[in-house]
């Protein structure tokens, strides 16, 4: 289990809780989160201005280190330092096929696919497909982009240990 800031329902406050992440499935990547920004979109997802399946782990501006990759993932490997792209492209639709992933028809669907559970088995949904307000998250393979090694690593994210 890892700790996460969980949004139980829209309009409620975030609660720090243990969550369960399985091994990454095909096309998925498990990332140890080193830092996550707090964006106004997180507030909009939390207060109901934007649609968000719940319970959810918000946080879509994260960076960290790849821990494990699922079957078929060749773009990153364990140990890579990465940035997380929110609403990543699917790599399968027509727009992705013609090299226009920024127009991906399915990029918003990741937020509707559970990526973790609470200890009682309740499914958790990742805000904008990222779920970065957690010690670790599981994201689609197109989400992590390799970055330079971050000088802040392994400092914990601010929500876990105020800096």
CA dihedral (16, 145, 41, 49) positive or negative:
negative
User: Which residue among 20, 35, 93, 118 contacts Zn ion (CB under 5 A)?
Assistant: 93
- 10 makes contact with Zn ion (CB under 5 A): no
Tell me how far, at minimum, the Cβ of 96 lies from Zn ion, in Å: 3
Nearer to Zn ion among residue 23 and residue 38 (C-beta): 38
Tell me how far, at minimum, the Cβ of 15 lies from Zn ion, in Å: 21
Count the site residues for Zn ion by CB under 5 A.
7
Tell me how far, at minimum, the Cβ of 50 lies from Zn ion, in Å: 11
State both tokens at 131.
């779920």
**Residues written for the chain:** 163
**Per-residue b/e over 8-45, b at no fewer than 16 CB within 10 Å?**
eebeeebeebebebeebeebbbbbbbbbbeebebbeeb
Residues 52-91 that bind Zn ion (CB under 5 A): 89-90
Taking CB atoms, the residue at the shortest distance from Zn ion is 39
Half-sphere exposure of 85 (CA within 13 A, CB side): 16
- 131 makes contact with Zn ion (CB under 5 A): no
Residue 134 is given by DSSP the state B
Tell me how far, at minimum, the Cβ of 14 lies from Zn ion, in Å: 16
User: Which residue among 10, 41, 44, 75 contacts Zn ion (CB under 5 A)?
Assistant: 41
Query: Whose CA is closest to 36, among 18, 63, 57, 56?
Result: 63
Tell me how far, at minimum, the Cβ of 124 lies from Zn ion, in Å: 19
Nearer to Zn ion among residue 77 and residue 92 (C-beta): 92
Backbone angles phi, psi at 140, to 5 degrees: -65, 155
Q: Where along the sequence are the contacts to Zn ion (CB under 5 A)?
A: 39, 41, 89-90, 93, 96, 104
């Amino acid at each position: 289990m890892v700790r996460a800031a969980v949004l139980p329902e829209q309009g409620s406050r975030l609660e720090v809780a243990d969550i369960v992440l399985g091994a990454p499935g095909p096309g998925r990547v498990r990332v140890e989160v080193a830092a996550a920004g707090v964006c106004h979109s997180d507030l909009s997802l939390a207060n109901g201005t934007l649609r968000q399946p719940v319970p959810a782990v918000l946080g879509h501006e994260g960076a960290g280190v790849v821990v494990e990759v699922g079957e078929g993932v060749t773009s990153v490997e364990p140990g890579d330092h990465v940035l997380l792209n929110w609403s990543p492209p699917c790599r399968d639709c027509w727009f992705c096929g013609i090299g226009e992933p920024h127009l991906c028809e399915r990029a918003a669907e990741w937020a509707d696919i559970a990526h973790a559970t609470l200890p009682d088995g309740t499914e958790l949904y990742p805000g904008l497909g990222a779920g970065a307000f957690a010690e670790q998250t599981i994201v689609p393979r197109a989400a992590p982009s390799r970055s330079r090694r971050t000088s802040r690593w392994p400092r914990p994210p601010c929500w876990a240990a105020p800096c």
